[in-house]
Structure 1
Amino acid sequence: MPIPTSTPLNNTTLPKHEIPGNYGLPFLGPLKDRWDYFYHQGRYSFFKSRAEKYNSTVFRTNMPPGPWVSPDPRVVVLLDAISFPILFDNSKVDKKDIFVGTFMPSTSFAGGYRALAYLDTSEPKHGLLKSMIQSLIASKHNEFVPVFRNGLQSFFTQLEDQLEEKKGVELRPLTDTLSFEFLFKLFCDGKSPLDTKIESNGIKIIKKWQICQIAPLVTLGLPKILNPIEDFIFHSIKLPFFLVKNDYKKLYDAFNSSATTYLEKAENNGISREEACHTLVYMFGFNAFAGISVWFPILIKWVATQGPNLHRQLADEIRTVVKSEGGVTLNSIKKMALTKSVVYEAFRIEPPVPYQYGRAKQDLIVNSHDASYEIKKGEVIFGYQPFATKDPKIFENPEVFESHRFIGEGEKMLKYVLWSNGRETEDPTPENKQCPGKDLSVQLSMILLVEFFLRYDTISVHVKPSFLSDVVTVLSLTKATSM
């Protein structure tokens, strides 16, 4: 039987190369790579320097956290738009217990269950649980627009009020509140988190629960003298569940008492109420809330930094369509070509979840633009998406935000927009690992821009680089002068 391959951009025969790079000495090699990644180079330069060293977009390295936490940190890295999508092929790549990387947090963080994100598509529970989540999202089709628009009014009011009191307002705390309250109401039959056991502490609880799981993958940006201490505490051990046990119980109880429609339907489909609730909590906290609350500042940052010319074009399109259609609806936003292109371009240039992992189910031949490489069964494959979606052999001016990139003929390039753990031209199904909220995320992003430019003409921001996601601070807003 021939070895399966990934699909090249054309049909030319590619030369077969050995995968360059090495893992170094046991323990010392992974430790060096960890320090390069977190402290000496930073994650973008970590990959860029190695791609330049080996003159290849496919190479071997160790991925953090490495010693003491990762059983085996060795990976094959894919950085181009041709090799990267093999990570979406579930016939070739196993996603079992490899969601966050080369280690897995304790299942105690999900009530003792392996969360949906850690299940491979070959496992029977995967299709069942993903179908339930997709069904939940589909059932809210007529609700999310009014619920989200209502949340945005509060978001903008808070932003304006805070700008009157101080020179700049950091976006993330406001988008956290917007995202948490919107998603809770959407998934919990319109109930407010304030009326549950978590009261006003929901965001604090969620973030504490998240950081206990992904601490080995982050850095706090402390002074260099403290790097050894941080490295030992965060990257050399897995934080135990008992640190958030009581908080997680409150979170679980809040969903168990509020998401009655979803939980009853899950029980009718043969899923225990307990497992269904833990699945919902994990999806809410780690997939939906974590993704959206990070994504909204990214989107606003890229739109804001393009300046008044783009702002004027967006405002003209949005106000014209809303006026002609008689309001903000899903049908009206479908007619906003520029607004949609801007959202896709933001997803392309800075995908909110940059990592993808998988384990080869069999011996594979993976193609890049220039060569083919053999990956052995059982080897871990890692893709760093910001390189793949800014591949200079695919996109013209890949490092530049081009607002009109995906209009007209440009829509053909959407197959290279990969933020959702799949191509933008494909749909999530129970048989794949693509984000079940893919379309919802695009629609919410467009509604955010629509509501913004119905209310304002322009915005200015300050951007401070940070390890995981830049800190975006709003400096000024200009109210809309026409409609």
Structure 2
Amino acid sequence: MLVLASMASTGVPVKEIPGSYGPPVLGALADRFEYFVTEGVDKFFKNRIDKYKSTVFKVNMPPGPPIVWDSRVVMLLDGKSFPVLYDLSKVEKKNVLTGAYMPSTAFTGGYRVSVYLDPSEENHSKLKRFCFEALKNSRDRYFPEFSRAFDELSAAVDKEMASSGKASFATQIEQLIFNFLCRSITGADPVTQGLGTDGPSYVTQWLAPQLAPIASSGFLPKIVDELTIHSIPLPFWLVSGSYDKLFNFLWTHAAPVLDVAEKEFGLNRAEACHDLLFNISFNAFGGMLIMFPSIVKYIALAGNQLQRDLAEEVRGAVRSQGGLNGRALESMALVRSTVYEVLRMAPPVPLQYARAKTDFVVESHDGFYGVKKGELLGGYQPFATKDPKLFDRADEFVPRRFMGQEGEKMLKHVLWSNGRETDETSADNKQCAGKDIVVMVARLFVAHFFLRYDSYTIDQSSSSVTFSTLNKATAFSTLNKATA
């Protein structure tokens, strides 16, 4: 514990991390029951912060027994301690995407895909550079394909609104995301090239058993979840048919991209295809499926004035730049800030993990704590990004928070992408490879929405985003949107 001794010699008090894992097996089961059943995630963490008077503490995290016996985690729940999860001089990221639990590699063709690799592993750099190349090769298709997918979504939503007086956003957004991603990356249309409109359901079927041990089913009673999906790993064969359809689509239509993987990066073609499929389906589709409804929800709850301001900004930019192109998008400061504020309020991936590869000291607002080599560290991102010691009105949605010079300075505390928003993703770190593209696409979504619609409301009693009113734009209904 040389680091701890060094800190002590300088007079800095290094505290022992509070908390308890309880008795073997029983302690993990008790924590899991409170996490899923009696308290829920936010209350689970808040109660322990209050109990230990610390945002750094020990606790068992799901899934725990009987799937993974070592469920012990040191949680970091403030914006000051959380970023140590990105410091690769202190932590490693091998097999920790979902904590101590890792789904069987049968779900990814027998390969450990890049998100489970630490940057110290040779294949990590190859696979991430391949991902960068796939994104770069698709850049000319982003604007036109998003416009096409949004037009399809709008037509479906408008039809549903006309027939029933309300429309489910959640149902339609799946098609937008999946079709946009596949068309952009491969240049092929999944709807006409073998998958029809079933692509999103194939993805969700494949995702479900992987995430089941650490998530709620959404339809079973919580106690039933505990006795079933949280306790028994579901086998790949249940969803192998869905996965094979997705894989075969990419194997055929992403052939030029896979050629690059083989020739430029020396990757096994099948491994590259499985990794590409994971990035499209788990990372991009899964993340956007959380992010887009959050955007719609927060803008709706903010009220009519924000919607009017967004519409005015979007339409003014499009008018001055001759269409919805890159220049127009870059000039939309309120749209940009609004998207970042949604990412701050509701990060698409709420939990992050890493394992200490050396003894070190982590600093929170409360003090310094000694971490031992081998300990699993975790962070609940919504607590870190809503840290009241970093943000004014931390629990409030403030759309203009990131505008202007002072707003730009606060972007370093936006942590949604497995790194600070001000950091650059690279082959040598674990930050999301598509970080900048995700933000761009989110801004595109807001821009397209307020070109098409003046205002809207949502059903606040519904657990999913459902439009209760949706008012079409008049002045811009026939605007010719450039695709840059």
Q: TM-score range by the shorter chain?
A: over 0.9
Answer yes or no: is 1:329 the counterpart of 2:322: no
**Structure 1 ranges of 4+ moved more than 6 A:** none
Give me the whole-angstrom Cα distance separating, in 2, the residues matched to 1:123 and 1:352: 26
Give the stretch that moved more between structures: 190-199 or 257-266.
Answer: 190-199
Equivalent in 250, 264, 267 of residue 259 of structure 2 = 264
CA distances 1:224-253 after superposition (whole Å, capped 9, x unpaired): xx4443212101111111111222222211
Equivalent in 195, 200, 206 of residue 198 of structure 1 = 195
Counterpart in the other structure of 1:113: 111
Equivalent in 401, 406, 411 of residue 402 of structure 2 = 406
Equivalent in 441, 464, 480 of residue 473 of structure 2 = 480
Structure 1 counterpart of 2:467, one-letter code: V
Give me the whole-angstrom Cα distance separating, in 2, the residues matched to 1:69 and 1:163: 45
Give me the whole-angstrom Cα distance separating, in 2, the residues matched to 1:305 and 1:229: 33
CA RMSD of aligned residues (A): 1.7
Counterpart in the other structure of 1:9: none
- What is the deviation of 1:2? 5.2
Counterpart in the other structure of 2:224: 229
Answer yes or no: is 1:286 the counterpart of 2:279: no
Question: What TM-score results when the alignment is normalised by the length of structure 2?
Answer: 0.94
TM-aligned CA distance change 1:91 to 1:161, over 3 Å: same
Counterpart in the other structure of 1:8: none
- What is the deviation of 1:197? 4.1
Give the stretch that moved more between structures: 242-251 or 211-220.
Answer: 242-251
- What is the deviation of 1:203? 1.4
Counterpart in the other structure of 1:442: 439
Give me the whole-angstrom Cα distance separating, in 2, the residues matched to 1:78 and 1:149: 40
Percent identity of paired positions between Structure 1 and Structure 2: 43
Give the stretch that moved more between structures: 335-344 or 194-203.
Answer: 194-203
Contact 1:95/1:359 (8 A) holds in 2: yes
Contact 2:81/2:362 (8 A) holds in 1: yes
Give me the whole-angstrom Cα distance separating, in 1, the residues matched to 2:93 and 2:336: 31
Structure 1 counterpart of 2:417, one-letter code: S
Give me the whole-angstrom Cα distance separating, in 2, the residues matched to 1:320 and 1:30: 55
Equivalent residue runs for 1:351-362 within 5 Å: 351-362=347-358
Answer yes or no: is 1:397 the counterpart of 2:393: yes
Contact 1:197/1:251 (8 A) holds in 2: no
Give me the whole-angstrom Cα distance separating, in 1, the residues matched to 2:12 and 2:312: 48
Counterpart in the other structure of 2:91: 93
TM-aligned CA distance change 1:227 to 1:316, over 3 Å: closer
Contact 1:74/1:380 (8 A) holds in 2: yes
Answer yes or no: is 1:371 the counterpart of 2:364: no
Counterpart in the other structure of 1:319: 315
Equivalent in 260, 270, 273 of residue 269 of structure 2 = 273
CA distances 1:56-115 after superposition (whole Å, capped 9, x unpaired): 110010001111111300000001011000001112111111111221110010000001
- What is the deviation of 1:382? 0.3
Give me the whole-angstrom Cα distance separating, in 1, the residues matched to 2:166 and 2:18: 47
Give me the whole-angstrom Cα distance separating, in 1, the residues matched to 2:286 and 2:368: 36
Answer yes or no: is 1:182 the counterpart of 2:180: yes
Counterpart in the other structure of 1:255: 250
Task: Specify the SS of the correspondent of 2:467.
Answer: strand
Give the stretch that moved more between structures: 227-236 or 105-114.
Answer: 227-236
| Structure 1 unpaired stretches of 5+ | 6-11
Task: Specify the SS of the correspondent of 2:302.
Answer: coil
- What is the deviation of 1:127? 0.5
Give me the whole-angstrom Cα distance separating, in 2, the residues matched to 1:178 and 1:106: 29
Give me the whole-angstrom Cα distance separating, in 2, the residues matched to 1:292 and 1:300: 12
Task: Specify the SS of the correspondent of 1:412.
Answer: helix
